Amino acid sequence: MVAAVEGARKATRTVPAMAKDAVIFAAVSLALAIPLVGFYITDQGSTNTLHTRFGPMFYGVGVLFLGKLALSFAESSEAIARRIALIGSALAVLWFVIAVTGVVQDDNQVLGWFTWIVVVAVAVRGWVESRRSGAAARAIATAEGTSLGAAVARLGRFLGPLFIGIALVAPFYAAAIDDKRLVDLGVLIFTYIMLGWGLNVVVGLAGLLDLGYVAFYAVGAYTYAVFSVKLGLNFWETLPVAGALAASFGILLGFPVLRLRGDYLAIVTLGFGEIIRIILLNWAELAGGAQGIGGIERPSFFGMPFTASPPEGTTSFNEFFNIEFSPMHRQIYLYYIILLLALLTNWFTLRIRKLPIGRAWEALREDEIACRALGINPTNTKLTAFAIGAMFGGFAGSFFATRQGFISPESFNFLESAIILAIVVLGGMGSQIGVVIATIVLIGGPEWFRDLAAYRMLAFGGLMVLIMIWRPEGLLAHREPTIRMHSQKRSA
């Protein structure tokens, strides 16, 4: 996939070259799709049967072919080519719709796979694009991105507190209309915002493409799970340990990849994410293997559990405040915990950006060789980025464990990493508010439109493709200097 994306980078002008690009793209997708989609096994009693589903597979590849062709045309400087691109994308969408509604009926899973292939390709491509300097066609897009980003940055002073204000009162609104789903959605969104902000340190600031971020999320989750189940420690006691352990895993990952950059780094970090997951899957004694760990202690409010019938000797939250028991209470409490953790992450990141280490991360992203010439230790700088990014992943993981009460390796697969990376890249790398907006779009959107069933993934994938075409540097690619010599008189 990465290779295909690399191939696509050489944006060519002639039609045959574009067609060749699209063929290569489709061929790589096909190669991936044959084992992933083309074959599947059903388990009937003791016999496993191998089935094929080449029809849907070819439909998917066809969609990718047309989409890629459209993408190449869209990049062209000529109006006619862009018009062809429009027609091409329309065809691709049409084909997809046919595939969803008519020919392929109950194969949402197939569509899901293809959507994910597109999502990952787009995310990696977006990252590569944004690292690429020059290219006149891009300059226009960048200038547009900058002006929007600058406008949002100027509004940031008002937007930030406004967002926080809304986030603070949202649960009361949800409680008033008794919508548990809304609070759940809020918790989910803030979990991903926190993960996005954490990964932003590694990818956005230090420029290290990390496809295995979910590993640190898993380390944090399992740390709390094990400490809670085996040692009986509570969430707040375990939180620093989980952060520290995840940070050490960040350093552990950091060491072997110090010399790697770009795509190579992405592949190794991807492998690291899988290694952690597979270790958890096979470590039955400690991590419970595929069964995972259940019965993890749910959070309590200063020792007061959120249960209808508290155990002997404890007072439950509702008894203490003398209110009627409601499962909403725990949800709302969880919501405030993750809100607090996410805001802490944000505060820390904003702060550290203005410190020498934060500037060194960004300098490292811009030019590692120049950094070395200036006497900056690239090893330490990279490792701190990995460690701090991982630490926030660990915090979020602990929260995930206490929220779910049950965790298994299944929750920490590659797709999670891909979503988090997509949030960072689509939001505009390094932009804190971009992460918030991208999370609301990427996580909130599909949850909100769950009623659309199969189509929501289609809409979601399409949206990502559109964002990458019009805003290759992310929604908000504006960067404010961390220190100014003059007051902002001229930007007004």
Give the single-character DSSP code of 472.
T
Closer Cβ to other proteins, 207 or 212, answer by number: 207
Among residues 77, 373, 451, 492, the one that binds other proteins under rule CB under 8 A: 373
Q: Which residues pair with 41 in a beta bridge?
A: 50
Phi and psi, residue 196, nearest 5°: -60, -45
Question: Which residues from 108-137 bind other proteins, rule CB under 8 A?
Answer: 133
Q: Residue 200 Cβ, how far from other proteins at the closest point, in Å? A: 15
Nearest to 264 by CA among 117, 128, 426, 429: 128
Q: Interface with other proteins includes 181 (CB under 8 A)?
A: no
- Only one of the segments 81-89, 104-112, 363-371, 410-418 lies at the binding site for other proteins (rule: CB under 8 A); that segment is 363-371
Q: Residue 382 Cβ, how far from other proteins at the closest point, in Å? A: 12
Look-up of token digits 């994308």: 89
Q: Interface with other proteins includes 479 (CB under 8 A)?
A: yes
Q: Interface with other proteins includes 492 (CB under 8 A)?
A: no
Q: Residue 250 Cβ, how far from other proteins at the closest point, in Å? A: 16
Q: Residue 445 Cβ, how far from other proteins at the closest point, in Å? A: 30
Closer Cβ to other proteins, 403 or 478, answer by number: 478
Q: Residue 355 Cβ, how far from other proteins at the closest point, in Å? A: 5
Q: Interface with other proteins includes 372 (CB under 8 A)?
A: yes
Q: Residue 238 Cβ, how far from other proteins at the closest point, in Å? A: 23
Question: Which residues from 131-170 bind other proteins, rule CB under 8 A?
Answer: 133
Q: Interface with other proteins includes 357 (CB under 8 A)?
A: yes
- Asked if 404 and 235 touch (Cβ cutoff 8 Å), the reply is no
The DSSP line for 208-230 is: ---S-THHHHHHHHHHHHHIIII
Classify 130 as helix, strand or coil.
Answer: helix
- Only one of the segments 26-34, 112-120, 265-273, 370-378 lies at the binding site for other proteins (rule: CB under 8 A); that segment is 370-378
As given in the structure block, the two tokens for residue 132 are 């690429």
Q: Residue 490 Cβ, how far from other proteins at the closest point, in Å? A: 8
CA dihedral 89, 93, 98, 100 (to 10 degrees): 150
Q: Cα separation of 41 and 144, whole Å?
A: 49
Nearest to 67 by CA among 30, 27, 96, 99: 96
Nearest to 468 by CA among 24, 7, 8: 8
Bridge-based pairing state of the strands 39-44 and 47-52 = antiparallel
Q: Give residues in contact with other proteins (CB under 8 A).
A: 133, 348, 351-352, 355-357, 359-360, 362-363, 366-367, 369-378, 384, 479, 481-486
